[in-house]
């Protein structure tokens, strides 16, 4: 079989290119394989592409090792929403959807830490709708504790009032926390 690209030299390398759409196999000679896409990076990417970076740190595909020497690495968990596997994520350096973060949660602190100077937890802005929900959840906890105390102290009237308030909060929580005033 001859190289698909130059059609001059015998094909000695099978190049498997995988993308989100599926995988394509190309039979190339060594020379063409060397010059083929595996060794070129999209110029729109950052100088040290994140794919290279992740692959380097996590023993995934190293772009500087010829493809036939590629080590098989375990696929790891798979995202139920977009079917991205963890190993694939390391290879392409991108998440497929928000659910990926949940699916790979336990493995992510290490990945994110490498990219963010050892940090893997967000301490910046929290969107209003989320902070609203948190506030309701926290308040609900508080009321439950108070209610327990009231019941134990046999202050049933107060406990009933607290129960009504808790129910109102729960309704708001179910409807997405809309008009609840955080303060």
Positions touching other proteins (CB under 8 A) are: 20, 43-47, 50, 54, 81-82, 84, 92-98, 101-102, 105, 108, 111-112, 115-130
For the bound state, the minimum distance from the C-beta of residue 16 to other proteins, rounded and expressed in Å, comes to 19
Neighbour-count burial for 75-113, b at 16+ CB within 10 Å, e otherwise: eebbbeeeebbbbbbbbbbebbeeebeebbeeebeebee
Cα 99–chain centre separation: 7
Cβ–Cβ < 8 Å for 132, 181: no
Kindly state the smallest distance separating residue 46's Cβ from other proteins, in Å. 6
Q: Which is nearer to other proteins, 16 or 45 (CB)?
A: 45
Give whichever of 39 and 57 is closer to other proteins, judged by the CB atom: 57
- CA atoms lying within 13 Å on the CB side of residue 130: 4
To other proteins, the closest distance from the beta carbon of 166 in angstroms equals 22
Q: In the bound complex, what is the minimum distance in angstroms from residue 102's beta carbon to other proteins? A: 8
Given the complex with other proteins, which of 66 and 115 has the nearer CB atom?
Answer: 115
Rounded to whole angstroms, how far apart are CA atoms 89 and 18?
12
**Which residue, 21 or 154, has its beta carbon nearer to other proteins?**
21
Residue number, 10 or 176, with CB nearest to other proteins = 176
Contact 143, 169 (CB under 8 A): yes
Q: How far is the CB of 20 from other proteins (least distance, A)?
A: 6
CA-CA distance, 51 to 89, in Å (whole number)? Answer: 9
């Amino acid at each position: 079989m001859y190289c698909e690209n130059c059609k001059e030299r015998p094909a000695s390398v099978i190049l498997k290119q995988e993308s989100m759409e599926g995988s394509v196999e190309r039979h190339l000679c060594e020379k063409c394989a060397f010059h083929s896409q595996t060794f070129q990076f999209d110029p729109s990417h950052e100088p040290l592409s994140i794919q290279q970076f992740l692959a380097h740190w996590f023993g995934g595909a190293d772009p500087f090792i010829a493809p036939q020497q590629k080590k098989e690495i375990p696929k790891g968990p798979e995202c139920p929403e977009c079917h991205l596997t963890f190993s694939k994520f390391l290879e392409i350096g991108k998440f497929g959807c928000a659910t990926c973060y949940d699916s790979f949660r336990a493995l992510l602190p290490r990945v994110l830490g490498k990219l963010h100077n050892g940090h893997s937890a967000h301490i910046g802005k929290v969107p209003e709708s989320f902070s609203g929900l948190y506030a309701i959840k926290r308040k609900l906890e508080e009321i439950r504790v108070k209610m327990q105390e009231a019941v134990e102290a046999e202050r049933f009237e107060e406990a009933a009032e607290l129960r009504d308030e808790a129910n109102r909060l729960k309704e708001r929580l179910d409807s997405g926390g809309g008009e609840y005033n955080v303060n």
